[in-house]
Structure 1
Amino acid sequence: MAPIASTLVAVLGAASLASAQTPNRPGTQNRYPFAKPYEQSFLDGYSVLKHVGGQGPYSNRDSYGISRDPPAGCAVDQVIMLKRHGERWPDPAPAANFKASLQKVYNTNTTAWTGALEFLNRWTYFVPDGRYIALESYNGPYSGLLDGYRHGAEYGVRYGHLWNQTAANLTIPMFSSGYERILTTARKFGEGFFGWNYTDVVAMNIIPEQVYMGANSLTPTCLHDNDTAICGNLTNLQPQFRLAATRLNAQTKNLALNATDIYNLMQMTAYELNVRGYSDWVDVFSLDEWLAFGYTQDLSYYYCSGPGDKNMKAVGAVYANASLSLLNQGPDAASGGNALWFNFCHDTNITPVLAALGLSSPAEDLPLDHIPFPNQYNTGNIVPMGGHLTIERLACNATAVTDKDTYVRLVLNEAVVPYAGCQDGPGFSCSLANYTRLVSASLPDFISTCGFNSSYPQYLDFWWNYNTTRAYDVETQNPIPAGEGLLTYQGTAA
C-alpha cells in the first residue's frame, strides 16, 4: 500500500495537471488547483447599513442575481435617473435632539466611563455648531460629495456612449430640485460623468421646491395631504428602545435615558457614519435594537411618503407619467435627441415614484405590533443616502425566445428589479409597449387626487422646455445660510 503522503501528492499533482489542461476556463492554469471559479457561499450577512433606513450611508440594494450589465444582444439607448443627495450632516431639528440626549448622558457627571459607554472617555461630538448643519459631508469613506462624484464617474463608464462628445454646441440638461445639498450632488455627479469642465456641457436647471409648481416639479406634493397618526409616533413603537435604555441606565450611575433618547442616539450614529465613516455608538446597541430602529424608518417612509399613504401613488405618477413620454419618444425625438436624463431630489420624492411603479411595495400594510421577517420594505435597500432609481431603455436584437424590440429595465440602487407582471424581454426586462400599457393603466391622476386646480401647472414640462444656459453650473450665488438650503430659480438664497 502506498504511503498516505505520497498518495496525496499524486492526487494533488493530477489535480494540478487537470487544472492546467482545462481549456474552457482561461487563466485557470495559474490558479490554485482547488480554487473555485464561482463562489458557493452567498452569505447575506448582517450590516448596520441595512438598519439605518434613509439616515445613513449608501449601499446597493439586495440583488435578485440579475446582471447589472445589459442583456446579450441589447444596448442601452436612453437612461432616466432620479437620485437622492449624498451623505450629509443632520438637519437642525435632529441635531438638536442629538444634543439634548447627549446632554442627559453627560449630566451624570461621570469621570470614568465603563461598560458599553467606555468609549466616551475618548469620543467627541462630530457636528460643529451651525457650520455644516444640513450640508453634505466632504471626507471619510462615506463622503456625500464623493458619493455624487463617484456615481457620476461610474455612470460615465456605463452610459458614456450616450454622450456625443464630438457634437458641436451640444448641451446636456440636468435637473435639480431647489435645495443646496441637492444641487451640490448634481454638480458633483456632473463633474464625475462629464469631467472637471462639465460646465462646458451641462445646463443645470434648478426646479423650485414650491407648491406653486404643481405637477411641473421634481418635488410634487398634495395640497391636502394629512400624514397618518403613525408618522408622529415612531420612537415608542418598539419595546427594544425601552430595553436598551434600561440596560444602559443600569451600567452608569445617574443615567436616565428613555426610549426617545435611544432613538435619538441611534439616529445620531447613522449621521456619524456619514461624517466620520465610523461610530463607536454602533456597538452600544444590539442587533435586535438596530432591527427595531431600522423598522421605525421603514414605517416612516411607508406610511408618510410611500405606498401606505393613499396620496403618494398619485404624487409619484407625475414622474412615472413623464418618464413614459420620454421612453416612447426615444433618444432620437425627445427634446433634441438627448439620451441622458439626470434628475436630483430628496428621498421622500423617490418613494412616491416607487409606490406609483409598485417597486418594493408589500402586499399588505406594514404591521405596527411586530417586525415582519423578511421585510420587503427595507428602506436601507430603497432610499439610503445617495439612493437612486434608474430607468433604462434597451434596444435589443431578436433571440430564440424574445423579439427584436425596445424594452425597459428598472434599476434600484444598482440592482435590477423586474417590473411586476412583465418580464417578457431579455434579462427580465419588459417590452416598452407592455410597460407603457401596464404603468398607464395603474396610475391615478395627480391633479384631481391632490386638490390642484387649473391655475397650477398640470404636468411635468421642464424636460421639454428647459434652460440651455449655464448660469447655474458654477457657484456664483451667495453662500446659503446653514440650515436653510433653499434656492430660487436664479440660484440665490431664498
Structure 2
Amino acid sequence: MAPLASLGALLMAASVAVASYSNRPSYIGRDTFAAPYDQSFQEGYSILKHIGGLGPYSNRMSFGIGRDPPDSCAVDQVIMIRRHGERYPQGSDAGKINAALDKLYSSGKTEWKGDLTFLNWWKYYVDSEGLYGLETETGPYNGLLTTYKHGAEYRVRYGHLWDQKHNKTVPMWTSEFERVVQTARKFGEGFFGWNYTNSVSLNVISEGVKMGANSLTPVCTADNSTKTCDNLSHDLPAFRVAADRFNKQNSGLNLNGTDIFYLMFMSAFELNVRGYSDWIDAFTLDEWKWFGYTQDLQFYYCAGPGDPFYKAVGSVYANASLTLLNQGPKKAGPIFFNFAHDTNITPILAALGIASPSEDLPLDKIPFPSTYEIGNIMPMGGHLTLERLSCNATVATEKGTYVRVVLNEAVVPFTSCQDGPGFSCSLSDYTEMLNKMLPDFTSECKIKSSLPQHLSFWWDYNKTSEYNHQTAEYIPYQGHHFV
C-alpha cells in the first residue's frame, strides 16, 4: 500500500491533470470525460444505405483515407460525372405504386392499427402527375438544392482551377434528359455563382443511339439479353413476413410480398420529397436490408459488372478521361464536369474495376460482406471524380503526376496501384493498367462504322452560353462543331 505522502503527490498530480484538461470542450464533469472519438458509427444502420439509388444522397463509407490532397500534392485537373439530384418516382413506376396503395385503400379500413397506424393521417406525396420524374424542390433533401450545394462545395475544393482573371469560358456537358440538364445548371450556379451565365458553355449531348461512342449515355446494341434482369424477384420471403404482419394487424388486408416491395419502393422516394416517411419505421431493418439487396441485384446484373457488356460501355468514358489525364490541364483544360444517369455511371465503375465483386451476386441470399451495395455506390446525386495530382517528392514517393479516384467523396484506391501519396496511382501506371483492362466498345458492342467510334465532345464543344438557362427549345449536340 502506498505511503500517504506518495498518495498525496498522486492526487496533486491528478488534480493538475484535470485542471489542464478542463478547458477542453469534452469535459462534462468532475470525474467523467466524454470520449473524444465517436464509438457508435451508425452508418450501417442508416436507412439511406438500404434503399439503393432511390433516396437521398449520402457519402460513401470511406477507407479512412484523407479526402483533401496529400500534403505534397495539388490537384491540377478534375474530371467528374454526376447523377441528377433527388427526384420523384418515374412515371413508369406510378402504376405499380398506385396498385399497391389501391390494394390498401380498397380494403375499406376506416381505422388502421399496428405498424400502419399512420395511415389514419398519411397522404401520398405526389399530388400532380406532372411531378413524376422531376427533381424535387421541397424538404431537406430536395434535388435542386443538394445539387446547388454540391456545386458550391466543389467551388471551395476546385475553384483554384477556374481562371477567372482571364475570363475563360468553362464548358460543361450533360445528357439531354430534362432533370439531368437541370442538375447541370444548378451545379454550375453553385460552382460559378453569379458568374455562371457568362462563364459557362453548357453542352447538351443527345442520348440517341446514333451518337455511337461520342456520348455520355452510350448504348450497347449487341446487348440484347435481359433474361436475368427480367427474372429478378420482388416477392422475397422477408417481404412476405412483412405482408403477413400487416395483414394480421389489420383484418381484411390481403397484401403479398410484391405489394410490400412497391410500398417500400414508394417510401424511399418520399424521403426525397418530404425528408421523412412514416413508412420507414413500418418495416424492420432486416426487411430494409433485403430491399436494398434487390437494388444491388438490379444494378449489378442490368447496369453493372454482372452484365458482360457493361464494362465495354463504361470503357468509353474511362478511355476518353485517360486521354484527358495524359494531355493534362495545359493542353486539354483543367475542369471537366459531366452529368448523366445512374446507369451511365455504374458501367464506368465496372470498367475501372471499382466495387466489383470477385463472384456474381447470388439471387437467393445476401453475401456478407458485399462490395456491391448501390446505396453506397450510386445514390441520388452520386458522382465519380477523377483527380490529377501534381506532387513533389517525399521520402517515400517520387515527384510526378498521380491519379486519385473519388466515389461519393470517398477516396477509392486501386488494389494493384497505390504507389503515390495518399494511396494514389502514378499516371504512367494508371495508363498501363487501363490499357490492359479496358475492352473496346465499338467491337464488343458491334457499333456500326458509320457511327462515331470514340468520344470527342470534350475537345469539340459548343462555346456559347445559349443553353445555360431554360430556353423554349434546345438542340442537343449531335457531333458537329459549334463556333
TM-score (norm 2): 0.93
**CA 1:100–1:29 in structure 2 vs 1: closer, same or farther (change >3 Å)?**
closer
> Any residues of structure 2 matched to 1:215-226 within 5 Å, and which?
215-226=213-224
1:173 aligns with 171
2:91 aligns with 92
Q: Give the 3-state SS of the residue equivalent to 1:131 in structure 2.
A: helix
Q: Distance in 2 between matches of 1:209 and 1:101?
A: 33
Q: Distance in 2 between matches of 1:115 and 1:8?
A: 59
Q: Distance in 2 between matches of 1:326 and 1:332?
A: 10
Q: Distance in 1 between matches of 2:145 and 2:13?
A: 50
Q: Kindly indicate whether residue 76 of structure 2 is the aligned counterpart of residue 74 of structure 1.
A: no
What is the letter of the counterpart of residue 276 of structure 2?
Answer: Y
Q: Give the 3-state SS of the residue equivalent to 1:209 in structure 2.
A: coil
2:183 aligns with 185
1:133 aligns with 132
**Higher mean C-alpha displacement, 127-136 vs 344-353:** 127-136
Q: Give the 3-state SS of the residue equivalent to 2:85 in structure 1.
A: coil
1:250 aligns with 248
CA contact (8 A) 2:311 2:438 kept: yes
**Higher mean C-alpha displacement, 211-220 vs 192-201:** 192-201
> Any residues of structure 2 matched to 1:348-387 within 5 Å, and which?
348-387=343-382
**CA 1:368–1:45 in structure 2 vs 1: closer, same or farther (change >3 Å)?**
closer
CA contact (8 A) 2:75 2:387 kept: yes
Structure 1: gaps (5+ residues): 21-27, 479-486
Deviations 1:211-235 (A, max 9, x none): 0000000000111212442212334
1:19 aligns with 21
1:286 aligns with 284
Shift of the alpha carbon at 1:147? 1.4
1:432 aligns with 427
**CA 1:293–1:218 in structure 2 vs 1: closer, same or farther (change >3 Å)?**
same
1:412 aligns with 407
Q: Distance in 2 between matches of 1:136 and 1:7?
A: 67
1:391 aligns with 386
Q: Give the 3-state SS of the residue equivalent to 2:207 in structure 1.
A: coil
Shift of the alpha carbon at 1:38? 4.5
Q: Kindly indicate whether residue 201 of structure 2 is the aligned counterpart of residue 203 of structure 1.
A: yes
Q: Distance in 2 between matches of 1:105 and 1:30?
A: 52
Q: Give the 3-state SS of the residue equivalent to 2:194 in structure 1.
A: coil
2:464 aligns with 469
1:489 aligns with 476
Shift of the alpha carbon at 1:9? 8.1
Q: Distance in 1 between matches of 2:387 and 2:412?
A: 12
Q: Distance in 1 between matches of 2:350 and 2:234?
A: 26
Deviations 1:272-318 (A, max 9, x none): 00111000000111111111110000000000000000000000000
Structure 2: gaps (5+ residues): 479-483
Q: Distance in 2 between matches of 1:31 and 1:465?
A: 56
Q: Distance in 1 between matches of 2:170 and 2:77?
A: 13
What is the letter of the counterpart of residue 364 of structure 2?
Answer: D
Q: Distance in 1 between matches of 2:44 and 2:174?
A: 35
1:481 aligns with none
**CA 1:30–1:101 in structure 2 vs 1: closer, same or farther (change >3 Å)?**
closer
Q: Distance in 2 between matches of 1:295 and 1:155?
A: 31
2:113 aligns with 114
Q: Distance in 1 between matches of 2:393 and 2:477?
A: 48
User: Aligned Cα RMSD in Å?
Assistant: 2.0
Q: Distance in 2 between matches of 1:348 and 1:131?
A: 23
CA contact (8 A) 1:237 1:368 kept: no
Shift of the alpha carbon at 1:39? 4.5
CA contact (8 A) 2:235 2:257 kept: no
**Higher mean C-alpha displacement, 379-388 vs 126-135:** 126-135
What is the letter of the counterpart of residue 21 of structure 2?
Answer: S
CA contact (8 A) 2:183 2:339 kept: yes
Q: Give the 3-state SS of the residue equivalent to 2:190 in structure 1.
A: helix
Shift of the alpha carbon at 1:43? 4.7
CA contact (8 A) 2:205 2:477 kept: no
Q: Distance in 1 between matches of 2:334 and 2:27?
A: 45
Deviations 1:97-129 (A, max 9, x none): 111110000011111111111001110000123
Deviations 1:30-54 (A, max 9, x none): 6638455554554544011111001
CA contact (8 A) 2:235 2:258 kept: no
Shift of the alpha carbon at 1:16? 2.7
Q: Give the 3-state SS of the residue equivalent to 2:131 in structure 1.
A: coil
Q: Distance in 2 between matches of 1:296 and 1:30?
A: 44
TM-score (norm 1): 0.91
Q: Give the 3-state SS of the residue equivalent to 2:279 in structure 1.
A: helix
Deviations 1:439-471 (A, max 9, x none): 111011100111112100000000000000111
Q: Distance in 2 between matches of 1:450 and 1:30?
A: 60
Q: Distance in 2 between matches of 1:36 and 1:287?
A: 28
CA contact (8 A) 1:82 1:350 kept: yes
What is the letter of the counterpart of residue 66 of structure 1?
Answer: I
Moved over 6 A (4+): 6-9
CA contact (8 A) 1:358 1:420 kept: no
Q: Kindly indicate whether residue 323 of structure 2 is the aligned counterpart of residue 325 of structure 1.
A: yes
Q: Give the 3-state SS of the residue equivalent to 1:280 in structure 2.
A: coil
CA contact (8 A) 1:152 1:192 kept: yes
Q: Distance in 2 between matches of 1:468 and 1:488?
A: 14
Q: Distance in 2 between matches of 1:313 and 1:401?
A: 34
**CA 1:351–1:103 in structure 2 vs 1: closer, same or farther (change >3 Å)?**
same
Shift of the alpha carbon at 1:17? 3.6
Q: Distance in 2 between matches of 1:43 and 1:281?
A: 20
Shift of the alpha carbon at 1:197? 3.8
1:23 aligns with none
CA contact (8 A) 1:227 1:304 kept: no
CA contact (8 A) 2:67 2:409 kept: yes
| Paired positions, count | 469
CA contact (8 A) 1:228 1:309 kept: no
2:481 aligns with none
